[in-house]
């Protein structure tokens, strides 16, 4: 079998989508799998991010060209048996499609998107889902949302949770703190959050809660570090920080690479994830794998991911967010217990398992396609 993966997200700082496809390909590399793998990339140098034994092809970085004809044309040339895409597949695809839809936030919370992006996703994802042989998603929460949104049989939707890269593991704290101080100019202990600066990540709510925390406990020496790529919504987040009474304690890093992120996780005192909506919430597990205590929202898929290893709060409630941060910072025994539980929880999520579950879906789809073609050939005879 020749399995092809649309890996155009590689090397383009597309955060969650890039992390998903890169780690999935690495997971495939670890499997004892005889099938051929081919990755389609767009960014210059992205082929270096693909496991060496996999073939790569360059496709257009322009989504209209890539989805309009370039990817379909190359799939024919490469005699693919299947293509795996994220959210949106090519028009007139010549092979069965497996599509990963991580969530349907663009339908359930359209206010989190620009109008153009919302309309584009509403059209292209619907087209892809309705024509796909199988839909993959990361959580039971997202599976139910997809089934409702597209009036689908849930059996066509497979829950295949993401994993945690082995790169995320506890590091020497003093070394990590020194790195963060030197690289990001954060001079003291800090609270960390990770996520693109966009409405659903709720950084503005976290800034408000951080201000209340320091006003209630002025003896706390902590800073707030916000890691995440600048987006169209970023000016609103920066404005909230500038207006804060504790603006001098708030730091932005913009996009960081994996090695920098590892040091940030390892150096922080606690990790807070205040998002309103997530189809999974991979940073929760990354922080846990690095040995950090986590407080996160009690909404969407996050309770599934954090399980009992994180303190949950209502992301709409500033007081609950303040209480969760305060309890972790001021109660060392609680913090240490959550750190232990977090590492145990994160250990259950591996990309090898994700890759194995995904490969099983590939083989199911190809087997169904072969049986369908055989029946058609028999009917013609």
Q: What is the pLDDT of residues 24-52, one digit of tens each?
A: 999 999 887 788 999 999 999 999 999 99
Are residues 270 and 131 located together in one domain of the fold? Answer: no
- Same-domain check for residues 258 and 278: yes
DSSP conformational letter for 260: H
Q: Which of 175, 226, 189, 188 is nearest to 329 (CA)?
A: 189
d(CA 48, CA 336): 39
Q: Give CA–CA dist 290/135, Å, rounded.
A: 31
339 and 268: one domain?
yes
Percent of the chain scoring above 90 in pLDDT: 91
Same domain assignment for residues 152 and 196: no
In a domain, 72, yes or no: yes
Would you report the helix, strand and coil content of the chain in percent, each value rounded to 5? Answer: 50, 15, 35
Q: In this structure, is residue 168 part of a structural domain?
A: no
* Backbone torsion region of residue 307, taken as left when φ is above 0, otherwise alpha when ψ lies between -120 and 50, otherwise beta: left
Pair 113, 236 in one domain? no
Say yes or no: 140 and 11 in one domain: yes
Whole-number pLDDT of residue 380: 46
Alpha carbons 291 and 47: distance in angstroms, whole number: 32
**Residue 265 is assigned to a structural domain of this protein:** yes
Residue 192 CA to residue 274 CA, distance in Å, equals: 11
Which helix or strand (DSSP H or E) is residue 194 part of? strand 190-194
pLDDT tens, residue by residue, 322-365? 999 999 999 999 999 999 999 999 999 999 999 999 999 999 99
Q: Would you say 181 and 373 are in contact if contact means Cβ atoms under 8 Å apart?
A: no
Same domain, 136 and 182: no
CA distance 29 to 381: 41
Say yes or no: 41 and 181 in one domain.
no
**What distance in Å separates the CA atoms of residue 153 and residue 286, rounded to the nearest whole number?**
32
Are 33 and 110 found together in one domain?
A: yes
* Total of domains in the chain: 2
Would you say residue 278 lies in a domain?
yes
Supply the pLDDT for residue 12. 84
Sites in the chain below the pLDDT cut of 50? 377, 380
| Region class of 254: left (phi > 0), else alpha (psi between -120 and 50), else beta | left
Residues 364 and 337 occupy one common structural domain: no
Domain CATH for 300: 3.40.50.2000
In this structure, is the dihedral angle defined by the CA atoms of residues 284, 210, 18 and 116, taken in order, positive or negative?
positive
Domain shared by 341 and 192, yes or no: yes
* pTM of the predicted model as reported, rounded to 2 decimal places: 0.92
The answer to whether residues 322 and 295 belong to one domain is yes
Q: Is residue 127 part of a domain?
A: yes
C-alpha span between 124 and 117 (Å, rounded): 11
65: domain range? 2-163+350-380
């Amino acid at each position: 079998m020749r399995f092809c993966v649309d890996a155009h997200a590689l090397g383009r700082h597309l955060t969650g989508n890039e992390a998903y496809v890169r780690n999935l390909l690495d997971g495939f590399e670890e499997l004892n799998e005889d099938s051929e793998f081919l990755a389609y990339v767009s960014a210059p140098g992205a082929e270096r991010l693909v496991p060496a034994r996999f073939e790569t092809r360059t496709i257009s970085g322009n989504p209209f060209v890539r989805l309009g004809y370039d990817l379909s044309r190359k799939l024919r040339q490469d005699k693919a048996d299947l293509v795996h895409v994220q959210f949106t597949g090519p028009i007139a695809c010549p092979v069965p499609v497996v599509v990963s839809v991580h969530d349907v936030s663009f339908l359930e919370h359209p206010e989190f998107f620009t109008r153009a992006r919302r309309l584009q996703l509403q059209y292209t994802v619907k087209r892809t889902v309705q024509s796909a042989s199988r839909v993959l998603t990361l959580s039971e929460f997202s599976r139910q949302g997809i089934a409702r949104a597209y009036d689908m049989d849930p059996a066509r939707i497979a829950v295949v949770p993401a994993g945690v890269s082995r790169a995320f593991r506890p590091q020497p704290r003093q070394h990590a703190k020194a790195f963060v101080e030197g690289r990001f100019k954060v001079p003291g202990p800090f609270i960390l959050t990770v996520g693109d600066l966009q409405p659903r990540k709720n950084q503005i709510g976290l800034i408000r809660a951080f201000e209340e925390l320091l006003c209630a406990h002025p003896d706390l020496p902590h800073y707030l570090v916000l890691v995440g790529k600048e987006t169209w919504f970023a000016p609103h987040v920066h404005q909230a920080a500038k207006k804060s009474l504790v603006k001098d304690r708030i730091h932005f890093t913009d996009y960081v690479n994996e090695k920098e992120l590892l040091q940030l996780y390892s150096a922080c005192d606690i990790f807070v994830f205040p998002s309103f909506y997530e189809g999974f919430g991979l940073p929760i597990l990354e922080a846990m794998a690095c040995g950090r205590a986590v407080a996160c929202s009690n909404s969407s898929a996050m309770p599934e991911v954090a399980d009992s290893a994180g303190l949950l709060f209502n992301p709409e409630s500033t007081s609950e967010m303040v209480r969760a941060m305060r309890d972790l910072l001021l109660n060392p025994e609680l913090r240490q217990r959550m750190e232990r539980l977090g590492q145990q929880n994160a250990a259950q999520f591996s990309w090898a398992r994700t890759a194995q579950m995904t490969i099983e879906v590939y083989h199911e789809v190809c087997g169904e396609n072969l049986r369908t073609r055989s029946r058609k050939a028999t009917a013609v005879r």
